[in-house]
Structure 1
Amino acid sequence: MSAGSDMLDISDFERIDGELRAYDEKREQVIKRSRDIQKLSKQAIFSLHRGADAEAESRIAAAKKAAEELLPLIKGNPTLRPGSYSNAIEEYAEAVAFRCYLTDGRLIKQAEVELAEVEEYLGGVLDFTGELGRLAIAQATRRDEAAVQRARDLVEAIMGQFLQFDLRNGSLRKKYDALKYTLKKLENTLYELSLTKAGLPTKPEDIPEPDAGAGGADGGDDA
């Protein structure tokens, strides 16, 4: 024991050490279970893209159950929410938003994603637009112009609402930048579909070369 140990309460530091160890154990529990929530939500999205609705429902239900199991721990230790748990809830919000669009043709409301706080809901919505873009590209290969138009209209409407927010640098800002790219891609897809419908080439290499005999600077006979 050092000479200065009699000037402090060792038991107080032992208590602090115990609390820190207990917090770390809770943190590890949240991280581990959050991975399950995120994985199940990603798998549900994949199932929805394949049209495996029953499989998707099972995975969404399992993700929700896992998230609810962690809630008492999160509420008792609010600093454990940012990071793994929050990211997992965003993924869950993305999955249920995608399901809602496929079943009801609309964007899910925040109140319908009970587990998500505001920024988690918004992050999930922005991620959902990426899945909507992928869905629309698949629909474009089947020449379903109306389906692509619906997707484009919703993405544009979502962008219009996000324009009202003052998004500072962070994950939401980065996801918003991706939203702009998704909208542009959908607009280009619709343009290409319209060209295909009119029987016009959609790629520069498909445009025929000008007729060399039609005249021009070097097209006439030498004098």
Structure 2
Amino acid sequence: MLRRFDEQRETVIKQSRDIQKAAKHAIFSLHRNAFAEADSRIASAMKVVEELEPLVRASPALRGGAFSGALEELAEAVVFRGYLVEKRLLPSSALPMAEVEEYLGGVLDFTGELNRYAILRATERDREAVQRAHDVVEAIFSAYIQFELRNGNLRKKYDALKYTLLKLENTLYELSLTEAGGMASRKAGGGGREERPEGGDM
């Protein structure tokens, strides 16, 4: 019996790595706007989750560790895709196999990817995209305040969320300075048409 459990555990650990790897590749593809590739990676990860689901449901002790971590990574990828493609924060029902804490952990990890995305958009002077990212992270931060997060994985991620929000605020501030500097330069350069003084030719 114990030997069989060990064999099942090894199977779950090995295939959980495949889920995690596919999810990481999906996130990388999303940053490059390679959505078809990201969808393929997510579908691949979902397939492995479906294969492991009966095993994990039959032996709940197999869920902790590798499998739970892989589901968090997959939730992060699914939520990031939802933000970019569907323009919304997907609910936990988008990943039915994930438990509440796994989904919440994935959402918190997603905010880190959203910060990276916002920085890339800032280099393109896309203030609207940066503002939207900031607003989403701020909304997530406000929502998580309602949870009583004790010491643990979620608490650490929540603490990191505060710094992510601060980084986005700084990015917006730097963008506003850049925009203000650009406007000042245009004014100093006489962007408008020069007018002749009244009173005849000079």
Instruction: Give distance in 2, aligned partners of 1:87 and 1:112.
Output: 17
The alpha-carbon deviation at position 111 of structure 1 amounts to 1.3
Q: Which runs of 5 or more structure 2 residues have no equivalent in the other structure?
A: 183-202
The equivalent position to 2:140 in structure 1, one of 137, 158, 162, is 158
Check if 1:187 corresponds to 2:187: no
The equivalent position to 1:71 in structure 2, one of 43, 50, 53, is 53
Instruction: Give distance in 1, aligned partners of 2:103 and 2:89.
Output: 11
Instruction: Give distance in 2, aligned partners of 1:127 and 1:30.
Output: 23
Q: Hey, what does 2:130 align to over in structure 1?
A: 148
Q: Which runs of 5 or more structure 1 residues have no equivalent in the other structure?
A: 1-18, 201-223
SS at match of 1:199: helix
Instruction: Give distance in 2, aligned partners of 1:141 and 1:24.
Output: 50
Greater Cα radius of gyration, structure 1 or 2: 1
The alpha-carbon deviation at position 112 of structure 1 amounts to 1.7
TM-score by length of 1: 0.81
The equivalent position to 2:25 in structure 1, one of 43, 50, 54, is 43
- Kindly report structure 1 stretches of 4+ aligned residues shifted beyond 3 Å: none
Q: Hey, what does 1:83 align to over in structure 2?
A: 65
The equivalent position to 1:60 in structure 2, one of 42, 65, 82, is 42
The alpha-carbon deviation at position 80 of structure 1 amounts to 0.6
Number of positions where the alignment pairs a residue of Structure 1 with one of Structure 2 = 182
Q: Hey, what does 2:199 align to over in structure 1?
A: none
Q: Which string of whole-angstrom CA distances, capped at 9 and with x for unpartnered residues, describes residues 47-92 of structure 1?
A: 0101111111100000000011000100110011011000000000
Q: Hey, what does 2:186 align to over in structure 1?
A: none
Structure 2 counterpart of 1:174, one-letter code? K
Q: Which has the higher contact order (CA 8 A, sep 6+)?
A: 2
The alpha-carbon deviation at position 177 of structure 1 amounts to 1.0
Instruction: Give distance in 1, aligned partners of 2:109 and 2:134.
Output: 15
Q: Which string of whole-angstrom CA distances, capped at 9 and with x for unpartnered residues, describes residues 26-51 of structure 1?
A: 00000000000000000000001011
Q: What root-mean-square deviation, in Å, do the aligned CA atoms of Structure 1 and Structure 2 show? A: 0.8
Identity %: 67
TM-score by length of 2: 0.89
Instruction: Give distance in 2, aligned partners of 1:169 and 1:48.
Output: 32
Instruction: Give distance in 1, aligned partners of 2:69 and 2:25.
Output: 15
Instruction: Give distance in 1, aligned partners of 2:61 and 2:107.
Output: 24
